Amino acid sequence: IDKYINTAKESICMISISLKTGIDFDSICDVLIKKLKSSSKFKITVSLLNPDQDELFKAIEPCFGVDFKALKSRTSESLFELNKVRNNLKPKDRNRFTIKVHKTLPFGSVIILDGDSESGRIQIETKPYKVGMRKSFAFEIINNGNEFYQTLKSSFYDLLDDAIIYNKI
């Protein structure tokens, strides 16, 4: 994940359940900090599944084969880490890093790189039922002016608009 998001030039939007693997093993926080410091116009939005909504975690529990409380805990830990990183930034960088929680289950985890540019890309990651968290797969849609890209981008941006700001520490 770190190498992929590092290719962004203007913005990164991430929608996920917990981002736990990316935070713990792929050092995505280091990339996010680097990107924010590299350009005063770079923007980042991360939205994770709302840990205050047990029903969302219970709904995905059978897919992951992990107790919903453990999934919830992973998400809460990631939110804590992201918020800690955000709060350690200078105010000029902090204001361009938004952390949110969403209250719906998207059909996959999403990374949108430079979404509003001609070179925008959307990566969607999902996994087959009951195969474990490390057996997911992803596919990428590029912005070549087609309606499919625009529809997906608009849908994911709507999800981010509906998500709520997370500011707990």
C-alpha angle with apex 122: 169 to 58, nearest 5 degrees?
50
pLDDT along the chain (169 residues), means of 10: 94 93 82 95 97 94 86 94 94 95 91 97 87 79 94 96 86
pTM: 0.93
Beta strands at 97-102 and 164-165: parallel, antiparallel or unpaired: antiparallel
CA distance 156 to 145: 17
Note the pLDDT of residue 153.
97
